[in-house]
């Protein structure tokens, strides 16, 4: 589910304005192709029909991926000069969108603001990298007979920890001790899983007093 809107685009070279459709709402969890275009920083990239100049229009975009617990309001880079105003506008728009969509996933979601696509693109690339590392971990974990504990994606992203953790199965389920034991087994097979090595080291140093919130419970 993605939406387009009709705008009047203005070429930065001063050519005559022209009407065109641009994406205004993108579901990253529903349209992989649009997500890839956004990561490539080419979403809504226009060509002036008069001079051929490529440019981004002064039009905001809302990006939503419910599964990844990510909601982003992307404003044109030029809007950064009035960041406080646009943060307020984002809050008002989010309230209206939550009511219109009626999605339970939006209730506790904290929207993020970006000016231009560059920062969001980097964030999504990091999510993709973490996803690839998670797939390797889960393959090894299954081979080792380990269970998996799913962390809230937004919490994992904000705190730079894995979104899926291996643990040694037992009657108590996932605990700090069983996760630490699972990580030790995992890293014994593959010590190159960077985020898992870092989290294991943090557990060894006592930096976590409890498990991160699960995906089921949210933040």
pLDDT at 219: 40
Domain residue ranges of the chain, discontinuous segments joined by +: 3-116, 127-204
pLDDT at 108: 62
- The mean pLDDT values, 10 residues at a time, for the chain of 219 residues are 90 95 93 96 96 94 92 90 80 69 60 93 96 97 97 94 96 92 97 97 94 73
Residues 6+ apart with CB under 8 A from 39: 121, 124, 125, 128
Spell out a b/e string for 160-189, using b for 16 or more CB atoms within 10 Å of the CB, else e. Answer: ebbbbbbbbeeeeebeeebbbbbbebbbee
In eight-state DSSP terms, residue 92 is H
pLDDT at 81: 86
In eight-state DSSP terms, residue 51 is T
pLDDT at 102: 59
In the chain the beta strands, taken as DSSP E runs, fall at: 3-9, 18-27, 46-47, 54-55, 61-65, 70-75, 112-115, 147-150, 164-167
Rounded CA gap, 25 and 2, in Å? Answer: 5
Rounded CA gap, 102 and 125, in Å? Answer: 29
């Amino acid at each position: 589910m993605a939406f387009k809107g009709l705008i009047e685009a203005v070429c930065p070279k001063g050519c005559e304005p022209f009407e065109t459709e641009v994406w205004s709402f993108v579901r990253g969890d529903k349209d992989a192709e649009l997500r890839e275009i956004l990561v490539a920083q080419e979403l809504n990239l226009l060509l002036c029909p008069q001079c051929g100049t490529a440019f981004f229009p002064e039009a905001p975009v809302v990006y939503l991926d419910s599964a990844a617990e990510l909601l982003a309001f992307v404003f044109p880079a030029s809007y950064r000069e009035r960041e406080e105003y646009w943060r307020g506008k984002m809050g008002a728009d989010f309230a209206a969108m939550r009511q219109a969509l009626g999605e339970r996933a939006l209730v506790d979601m904290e929207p993020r603001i970006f000016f231009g696509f560059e920062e969001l693109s980097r964030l999504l690339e990091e999510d993709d990298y973490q996803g690839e590392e998670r797939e390797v971990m889960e393959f090894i974990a299954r081979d080792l007979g380990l269970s998996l504990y799913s962390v809230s994606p937004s919490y994992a992203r904000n705190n730079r920890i894995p979104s899926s953790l291996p643990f040694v199965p037992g009657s108590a389920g996932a605990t700090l001790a069983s996760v630490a034991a699972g990580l030790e087994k995992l890293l014994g097979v593959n010590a190159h899983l960077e985020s898992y090595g870092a989290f294991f080291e943090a557990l060894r140093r006592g930096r976590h007093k409890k498990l991160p919130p699960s995906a089921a419970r949210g933040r």
